[in-house]
């Protein structure tokens, strides 16, 4: 059974841009037919299983829910923190400081991650619309179960982009993340995309709400996702 781009994006709960990024950087199986992208349901389910990516309820809902890694967002965000009034030019330095406090890692590992981030093409920025984007390391890393982080950066001016966002809304809100493992990477990318698609977390970040309000809303988003309770209880 073949699904189209919209159906696949709805199934995973992410934007079509994220699906395009997965095709380019993660090898998401697909075929092109008359300028359309089509996806074989079985191939996509196997691809998701190999990467620990849980599909949203929808077209792939009958796949094994154990595909999910179950990492909770709130402790990861508390570990990475919320940074306000960040200049767009200071984003690379800010990401470096975030990595310098990466929990559960040695100084040597943190230096390696920083080197990868600062290398040309070391950060992939995935716009998700509405002025939000999800920067993350382009190269997958295996940090171990006690590591990983999510950090929110609120920019004082739009971030320069090589290509304009799909909705042409300037990007001023970044949720930077480093996953504990390659298996967890796509799961976190999907979860963060869903959190920013709609709902209180998106609204609170957009209006510069208090840190504790944002942490609470992210915790409630974890609680509303039964897979979120399976992950670790703390980020450090």
pLDDT tens-digit readout, 85-129: 999 999 999 999 999 999 888 888 899 899 989 999 899 998 888
Residue 65: pLDDT band (50, 70, 90) is: very low
Neighbours of 59 (CB within 10 A): 19
Alpha carbon 191 to its chain's center: 7
φ and ψ of 208, to 5 deg:
60, 45
Is residue 201 within 8 A of residue 218, CB to CB? The reply is yes
Classified by CATH at the fold level, domain 2-67 comes out as: Multidrug-efflux Transporter Regulator; Chain: A; Domain 2 (1.10.1660)
pLDDT the model gives residue 32:
83
Q: Is 35 left (phi over 0), alpha (psi -120 to 50) or beta?
A: left
Is residue 160 within 8 A of residue 201, CB to CB? The reply is no
Asked if pLDDT for residue 178 goes beyond 80, the answer is: yes
According to CATH, where is 1.10.1660 located in the chain? 2-67
Please report, rounded to a whole number, the percentage of residues in the chain having pLDDT higher than 90.
38
Rounded to whole angstroms, how far apart are CA atoms 226 and 203?
A: 22
Going 179 to 180 to 185 to 191, the CA torsion angle's sign is: negative
pTM of the model: 0.71
Rounded to whole angstroms, how far apart are CA atoms 130 and 148?
A: 26
Q: What is the mean pLDDT of the chain?
A: 82
Nearest to 235 by CA among 55, 85, 98, 93: 98
Nearest to 101 by CA among 151, 169, 162: 151
Degrees, nearest 5: CA angle 92-94-97: 115
- Cβ contacts of residue 209 below 8 Å, gap of 6+? none
Does CATH place domain 73-230 in 3.40.50.10800? Answer: no
Q: Where are the beta strands (DSSP E) in 5-111?
A: 31-33, 36-40, 82-86
Mean per-residue pLDDT, 174-178: 96
According to CATH, where is 3.40.930.10 located in the chain? 73-230
């Amino acid at each position: 059974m073949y699904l189209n781009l919209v159906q696949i994006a709805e199934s995973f709960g992410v934007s079509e841009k994220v699906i395009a990024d997965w095709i380019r950087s993660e090898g998401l199986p697909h075929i092109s037919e008359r300028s359309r992208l089509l996806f074989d349901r079985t191939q996509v389910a196997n691809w998701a299983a190999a990467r620990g990516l849980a599909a949203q309820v929808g077209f792939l809902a009958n796949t094994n829910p154990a595909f999910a890694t179950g990492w909770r967002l709130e402790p990861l965000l508390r570990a990475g923190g919320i940074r306000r009034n960040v200049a767009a030019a200071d984003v690379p330095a800010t990401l470096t400081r975030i990595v310098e406090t990466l929990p559960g890692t040695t100084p040597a590992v943190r230096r390696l991650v920083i080197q990868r981030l600062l290398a040309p093409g070391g950060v992939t920025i995935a716009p998700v619309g509405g002025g939000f984007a999800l920067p993350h390391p382009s190269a997958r890393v295996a940090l171990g179960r006690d590591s990983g982080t999510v950090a929110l950066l609120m920019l004082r001016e739009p971030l320069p982009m090589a290509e304009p966002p799909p909705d042409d809304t300037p990007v001023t809100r970044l949720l930077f993340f480093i996953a504990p493992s390659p298996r967890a990477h796509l799961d976190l990318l999907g979860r963060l995309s869903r959190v920013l698609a709609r709902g209180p977390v998106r609204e609170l970040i957009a209006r510069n709400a208090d840190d504790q309000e944002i942490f609470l809303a992210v915790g409630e988003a974890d609680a509303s996702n039964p897979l979120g309770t399976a992950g670790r209880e703390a980020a450090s």
